[in-house]
Amino acid sequence: MFALRLRRGPRQLRRRIALTFALGALLLSTALATFTFLVAQGYLLGQRERNAVRQTYLDGAFLKSRLIAPDVAVPDVLKSADPPQDGAFVIRRGGEWYSTTLGVDTPTVPAALQRRIRNGRSGYVLARVDGSPALVVGLPLGRDTEFYRVSPLTELDDTLRTLSTVLAIGAGLAAAAGAGLGSWASRRATQPLNLVAATAAQIAGGHLDSRLPNTTDPDLAIIVGSFNSMVDSLQQRVERDARFAADVGHELRSPLTTLVASVELLDRHRGELPPRAVQAIDLVSGDLTRLQRLLDNLLHLAKADAGLDLTDAPLLPVHDLIRHTLIRGGHSPDLLHGDRDGKVRGDKFLLERAFANLIDNADRHGKGLSAVTIEPSGQSLLVIVDDEGPGVPLEDRERIFDRFATSGSARGSSSGTGLGLALAAQMLSAHDGALWCTDRPGRGARFVASLPKAAS
């Protein structure tokens, strides 16, 4: 779970980098496409307007030369003209409208252009004629004559539509390419983070000899060196603390053994002692037992903290291991259920100690052991220890695995050393396993130990 939380950050960072690249490419390509479209539209439309105005002057001069003849009919003049393809010539003379193709009953020339031409000025305007875009150019041919040239822009409009579609597709492809480039760049950029996360997860799991590999990248060399130096210091401190705990434990064993032997000698002669002395012997005997158990736990914790090399560790049948632990603790082996064939690789003594602590916790704080069940789960074996107690409150389910943490109010006893569950969790972690607490269906607490299953 720790490793998953570490790796989630780089994945989110990769998504953000890829999204940033995609958005950047989309914005840049959209801006470039818009600029290209506007420039192309302005150029093509301007060129068409210039050609249309020049051609209007030429056509206007031709029509004006025909219209000055006496008694000439405007329709006859228009028949001799050469209007643009799919376009039209429109003449207004004496308040009457004439056209080569369009009906004169409904003039299509915009009113604003008409007013401009009647004021003696030429001009042009973009308009829609019969639902299609067109360029209407007007020219005064005399005091009472107006000439309009209607040039269709359908072809230009189709060209611009095609250009806009191509540019839009290009912008989309650029965004997709940006996302792909961002994904590639993010993987390259976050690869060191993933390596740091994986190495940190291994160190958190107890593999203190894990280090980042050396790199030739000058930008990463400082990070790698600092990280490895930090882990070196951490390993040295852990090993120093473990050695100190082991040394203290060994130094305490001799006087503790002497005290235990002395108290046992006094206890054998308790009938010769006054009641107050017997009471003192009982108190000292109980505290010596608790101190002896505390010392054993400290020594085992020191061994677990020092790290385990599981490469050449023997294969251990979990069912036999727990059955032996139950019998040695005075429990019936009938309490053991589940898988009989699962094996793990590890230190037999430490694993027995871990399971013994879980069983002892059920006896001391859970009103008695209810059952121990072995279940395969994917690549792991789960050892489930149920008790008959009131359960563990939700807010205490992580704290109870801290060293010297007790939960007397919740579990009904505070006579433990506060190291039993911490020792079990540490030993399972040293075997690449885990330990957690949950509710037992019905009543009681359930402690679940997970260990990686070993191939037979």
User: Is a pLDDT exceeding 80 seen at residue 126?
Assistant: yes
**Are 9 and 142 in the same domain?**
yes
**Are 282 and 330 in the same domain?**
no
Residue 277 binned pLDDT confidence (cut-offs 50, 70, 90) = confident
Residue 206 binned pLDDT confidence (cut-offs 50, 70, 90) = low
Query: Is the residue at 178 inside a domain?
Result: no
Spatial separation of the C-alpha atoms in residues 133 and 148, rounded to whole Å? 16
Q: 161 or 287: which carries more pLDDT confidence?
A: 161
pLDDT value, residue 104: 42
Residue 99: Cβ-neighbour burial (10 angstroms; 0-12, 13-18, 19+): buried
Average pLDDT over all residues of the chain: 82
pLDDT value, residue 1: 37
Residue 2 binned pLDDT confidence (cut-offs 50, 70, 90) = very low
User: Is a pLDDT exceeding 50 seen at residue 238?
Assistant: yes
- Kindly give, in sequence order, each residue whose CB lies less than 8 Å from that of residue 452, ignoring residues fewer than 6 positions away: 344, 345, 379, 380, 381, 431, 432, 433
CATH of the domain at 403: 3.30.565.10
**Are 293 and 362 in the same domain?**
no
Mean pLDDT, residues 50-78: 85
User: Is a pLDDT exceeding 80 seen at residue 283?
Assistant: yes
Q: Which of 114, 132, 158 is the last residue of a domain?
A: 158
**Are 279 and 378 in the same domain?**
no
For the record, the structure tokens of 144 come out as 């009472």
Residue 102 binned pLDDT confidence (cut-offs 50, 70, 90) = low
Query: Is the residue at 411 inside a domain?
Result: yes
For the record, the structure tokens of 358 come out as 């879980």
**Are 322 and 272 in the same domain?**
no
- Tell me the pLDDT tens digit for each residue of 244-267: 777 777 777 778 788 888 888 887
Q: 320 or 305: which carries more pLDDT confidence?
A: 320
Query: Based on the structure, what is the number of domains in the chain?
Result: 3
Residue 369 binned pLDDT confidence (cut-offs 50, 70, 90) = very high
pLDDT value, residue 412: 45
Residue 294 binned pLDDT confidence (cut-offs 50, 70, 90) = confident
Percent of the chain with pLDDT over 90: 18
Query: Is the residue at 202 inside a domain?
Result: no
Residue 3 binned pLDDT confidence (cut-offs 50, 70, 90) = very low
User: Is a pLDDT exceeding 80 seen at residue 6?
Assistant: no
Give the HSE-up count for residue 266: Cα atoms under 13 Å, Cβ half-sphere. Answer: 18
Query: Is the residue at 169 inside a domain?
Result: no
Using the CB atoms, write b or e for 160-186: b if 16+ within 10 Å.
Answer: beebbeebeeebeebbeebbebbbeeb
Spatial separation of the C-alpha atoms in residues 168 and 78, rounded to whole Å? 44
**Are 72 and 11 in the same domain?**
yes
Spatial separation of the C-alpha atoms in residues 46 and 48, rounded to whole Å? 5
Q: What is the DSSP letter of 145?
A: E
For the record, the structure tokens of 19 come out as 């999204």
- Kindly give, in sequence order, each residue whose CB lies less than 8 Å from that of residue 319, ignoring residues fewer than 6 positions away: 336, 338, 339, 340, 341, 342, 374
Contact between residue 453 and residue 382 where contact means Cβ atoms under 8 Å apart: no
Q: Which of 96-100, 259-263, 447-451 has the highest mean pLDDT?
A: 447-451
pLDDT value, residue 409: 44
Q: Give all strands (DSSP E) within 158-295, no chain letters.
A: none
- Tell me the pLDDT tens digit for each residue of 388-425: 888 888 888 888 888 776 654 444 444 555 678 888 88
Cα–Cα distances (Å) from 77 to 114, 131, 141, 149, 258, in that order, read 21, 28, 14, 15, 137
